[in-house]
Amino acid sequence: MESLSHDLVAELIQGSSSGFAALASSRLIERHPAVTQVYGSSAFSSWRFSLESWLLELAAAVRDELPALLGSHCEWMATTFEARGVKTRHLELAIACLGEVLGEELPPGGAESIAPFFEAAQVALKGRSSALECSTSADAIDVTTAGGKLATSFLRAALESDRAAARQLIQEALAKNGQSSQQLVTDVLLAAQRELGRLWQRDEVSIAEEHVVTEITRDLIRELLRTEARSPTNGHTVVAASVDGDGHDLGIRTLADLFELEGWRTVYVGTDVPRDEIVRAVEIYQAHLVALSGSLSQHREMIAQTIATIRSQVDRTVKVLVGGRAFDREGELWRRVGADGYARTLRAGVVKGRELLGIPEAP
Ligand code: B12
């Protein structure tokens, strides 16, 4: 049987992800009633939600022809599920049901195209004695460093919603340790955000606590960067946004702030911004550079579409810089969305933006 093109299969999976997830969830619950244990009466909607999101990640991996991407997503998912008492075995059963549904529903050749992805998922899930320790360690705070210790204390205060104490810790570090505001932002506040994500994944903090910390962090980043000296204007404009579907804003907003300190005129449009509105912002503000952020693999396709729309609708040359976790797992993913450049960190992003426009470093 000839296999279908990866792009077409990805499109079909993404377009019908909600229906496929519903079919697989009802099959899963009917065949393996034990999978309802943790969720009780909301089992169907919970499984459907998780499987739909898994299918979107599958579509992203299929599009880029990278089964390993789905493997690492499965590890992330197993960790997250295990922390909430859902067995990895149940996840395996759920994915098997999805495999069956896709085999029945995709046109001839579809199942062949996605077989390597299901194999990668199986390999990633098989033989995991404890998922919990595997995929959360990279984001942990390094408590052996001064910055790590400060990030831990800050996070503790912020989790208590003790805004004054959290602020005082950072202000004291600014006054005493000779660290710059930018360093405190990137090495302490954003490190605390990553640890916060790790704690959420391990079910040790709730979404409500995450929101509380994120708000305190956002205010402090703004306050800290306001005190930094600003370079003279370089005459260039950058439009920054997270694309449609992506609700994470601290990374991209802080990047916009750093560009501003370097003398750029910055236009921060926000999160979850529809493709056409990003293009509109490029036109209204006559941007020279667009910085786009994506947090999950499934956001890459919208970034690709946004860049294609900019290229086709804007007459001037506009450079596009991308970043975010959606690109961090594999070095070359940024090229596939049609961007001009990528950076892993915010500082490197500002340097890359300057390079793309041929702007000399500010004195
Ligand atoms: C806060 C938060 C949220 C908040 C966001 C609120 C807000 N206003 O931003 C809310 C609650 C909305 C949220 C939702 C979700 N989240 Co969330 N979230 C986080 C958390 C804890 C912090 C995000 C943050 O501020 N990070 C700090 C920034 C600076 O780091 P960063 O985004 O990684 O960016 C770095 C680089 O990538 C780079 N960068 C980023 N963008 C750009 C752009 C350019 C151009 C450049 C050059 C560089 C660059 O700069 C940073 C350098 O350190 C992270 C944990 C984490 N590790 O980040 C999880 C995290 C990102 N979320 C995660 C998940 C799974 C989700 C949800 C899917 C959960 C769910 N089931 O609903 C949803 C998705 C929502 C959506 N539609 O996007 C996962 C992603 C896992 C994965 N597969 O990679 C994480 C990693 C948590 C975890 N450990 O599991 N989340």
Looking from the CA of 5 toward its CB, the CA atoms found within 13 Å total 3
CA dihedral (131, 132, 138, 144) positive or negative = negative
Confidence at 143, pLDDT banded by 50, 70, 90 = confident
CA angle 159, 163, 165 (to 5 degrees): 90
Domain range summary for the chain, segments of one domain joined by +: 6-133, 137-226, 237-357
> Residues with Cβ within 6 A of ligand 1?
73, 76, 139, 190, 193-194, 196-198, 200-201, 207, 210, 214, 245-252, 255, 291, 293, 295-296, 321-325, 328, 343, 345-346, 349
Q: Which two tokens stand for residue 231?
A: 């370079």
237-357 is classed in which CATH architecture? 3-Layer(aba) Sandwich (3.40)
pLDDT value at residue 28: 96
Rounded to the nearest angstrom, the distance between the alpha carbon of 126 and the centre of ligand 1 is: 27
Rounded to the nearest angstrom, the distance between the alpha carbon of 362 and the centre of ligand 1 is: 30
CB atoms < 10 A from the CB of 225, how many? 18
Average pLDDT of the chain?
Answer: 93
Q: What is the pLDDT of residues 78-121, one digit of tens each?
A: 999 999 999 999 999 999 999 999 999 999 888 899 999 999 99
Rounded to the nearest angstrom, the distance between the alpha carbon of 232 and the centre of ligand 1 is: 32
Is beta strand 237-243 parallel, antiparallel or unpaired with respect to 265-273? Answer: parallel
Amino acid residing at 236: H
- Beta-strand ranges (E) seen in the chain are 237-243, 265-273, 289-293, 319-323, 341-342
Atom 28 (ligand 1): residue with closest C-alpha? 251
Q: What is the pLDDT of residues 189-198, one digit of tens each?
A: 999 999 999 9
Atom 56 (ligand 1): residue with closest C-alpha? 194
Q: Between the CA atoms of 28, 34, 38 and 39, what dihedral angle is there, to the nearest 10 degrees? A: 40
Q: Which two tokens stand for residue 293?
A: 């952020």
Say what the pTM is.
Answer: 0.94
137-226 is classed in which CATH architecture? Orthogonal Bundle (1.10)
| Shared fold status for 6-133 and 237-357 | no
Atom 63 (ligand 1): residue with closest C-alpha? 197
Local structure of 294: helix, strand or coil: coil
Rounded to the nearest angstrom, the distance between the alpha carbon of 91 and the centre of ligand 1 is: 23
Q: Which of 33-37, 145-149, 208-212 ranks highest by mean pLDDT?
A: 208-212
Average of per-residue pLDDT across 351-357? 97
Counting from 1 in the atom list of ligand 1, the atom nearest the Cα of 295 is 61
Assess whether pLDDT exceeds 60 at residue 66.
Answer: yes
Rounded to the nearest angstrom, the distance between the alpha carbon of 193 and the centre of ligand 1 is: 9
Atom 88 (ligand 1): residue with closest C-alpha? 197
Rounded to the nearest angstrom, the distance between the alpha carbon of 294 and the centre of ligand 1 is: 9
Q: What is the pLDDT of residues 260-287, one digit of tens each?
A: 999 999 999 999 999 999 999 999 999 9
Rounded to the nearest angstrom, the distance between the alpha carbon of 290 and the centre of ligand 1 is: 20
Please give the share of the chain, as a percent, with pLDDT higher than 90.
82
CA dihedral (159, 163, 169, 171) positive or negative = positive
Rounded to the nearest angstrom, the distance between the alpha carbon of 326 and the centre of ligand 1 is: 10
Counting from 1 in the atom list of ligand 1, the atom nearest the Cα of 291 is 45
* CA–CA gap between residue 35 and residue 50 (Å, rounded): 13
Q: Which fold has domain 6-133?
A: Globin-like (1.10.490)
Local structure of 1: helix, strand or coil: coil
**Bigger pLDDT: 228 vs 335:** 335
Q: Which of 295, 342, 347 to mutate to test the pocket of ligand 1 (most atoms within 8 A of CB)?
A: 295
Assess whether pLDDT exceeds 80 at residue 131.
Answer: no
